[in-house]
Amino acid sequence: MEQKQLNQDLAKLRENLGLFPEAVANPGFVVVTGLPGTGKTFFCRKMAEKQSFCILESDAIRKALFPSPDYSTTESARLFAACHSLIEWLLKDGVPVIFDATNLSEHNREHLYRISDRTGARLVLVRVEAPPALAYQRLQARKNGAAPEDKSDADWDVYRQMKPRAEKIRRNHFAVDTSRDITPVIDKIIRTLNR
């Protein structure tokens, strides 16, 4: 992707960011991974209620860049180049970030590990999961418009296509099952970040 396009995308996204948390030394960088319908966005919002973060939600960013997304490989490459640049810019400025995306492949997560290394951010990886039956229910509710604030278009077919592509996280990480009370693990993650 050409630099000019990336710069335009970044300018557009920065405009839409609004206010973000106060800058800190070694900001927290929470990378969330999980299949559609597992509760990633719910988890991110609950985290941000306990501690200030700028939440970057890939589904919302996609729609900011592409009002009628086609989910093509080219579109996704442009989306994630913009996400990664935005994350790096925020972390360099000391802004704590939660990145809400499926992040299913270790190859793609490597980009995020390098950003963390370059910026000195405190990286925490979180795998969000839920029983398939619950994910199915949530995705059906999404399809029926039960959650208008939900930015994702992923449905059960997308879940089934992505499931075999979900790779094990090779680094230490937290596992969060959103079918249970997630407060204890959120508290543990915050303690880890504040250590």
**Tokens of residue 193, six digits:** 């970040």
Domain membership flag for residue 165:
yes
- Among residues 169, 170, 174, the alpha carbon closest in space to that of 188 is found at 174
Q: Is residue 9 part of a domain?
A: no
Q: What is the dihedral of CA 82, 52, 119, 59, to 10 degrees?
A: -20
Q: Considering the domain boundaries, does residue 97 fall inside one?
A: yes
Domain membership flag for residue 121: yes
Of residues 22, 25, 23, 44, the one with CA closest to residue 34: 44
What's the pLDDT at 1?
A: 54
pLDDT of residue 192: 95
pLDDT recorded at residue 155: 76
Tell me, yes or no, whether 100 lies in a domain: yes
Range of 161's domain? 45-194
What is the pLDDT, as a whole number, of residue 21? 82
| Burial class for 184, CB neighbours closer than 10 Å (0-12, 13-18, 19+) | exposed
- 108-117 residues labelled b (16+ CB within 10 A) or e (exposed): bbebbbebbe
Q: How far is CA 51 from CA 14, 55, 61, 72, 147, in A?
A: 22, 11, 22, 35, 24
* Model pLDDT, residue 115: 97
- Residue 18 placed within a domain: no
User: Which of 19, 111, 8, 102 shows the shortest CA–CA distance to 59?
Assistant: 102
CATH code for position 185: 3.40.50.300
Cβ neighbours, 10 Å, residue 122: 18
Q: What is the pLDDT of residue 72?
A: 87
The total of structural domains in the chain comes to 1
Residue 52 domain-assigned? yes
How far apart (Å, rounded) are the C-alpha atoms in residues 102 and 117? 21
Per-run averaged pLDDT (10 residues), the chain, 195 residues: 83 79 90 94 94 92 89 90 94 96 92 96 97 91 67 78 92 96 96 91
Residue at 133: amino acid letter = A
Task: Examine residue 36 and state whether it is found in any structural domain, yes or no.
Answer: no
Indicate if the alpha-carbon torsion angle 169, 36, 96, 117 is positive or negative: positive
Which DSSP helix (H) or strand (E) runs through 100? Answer: strand 97-100
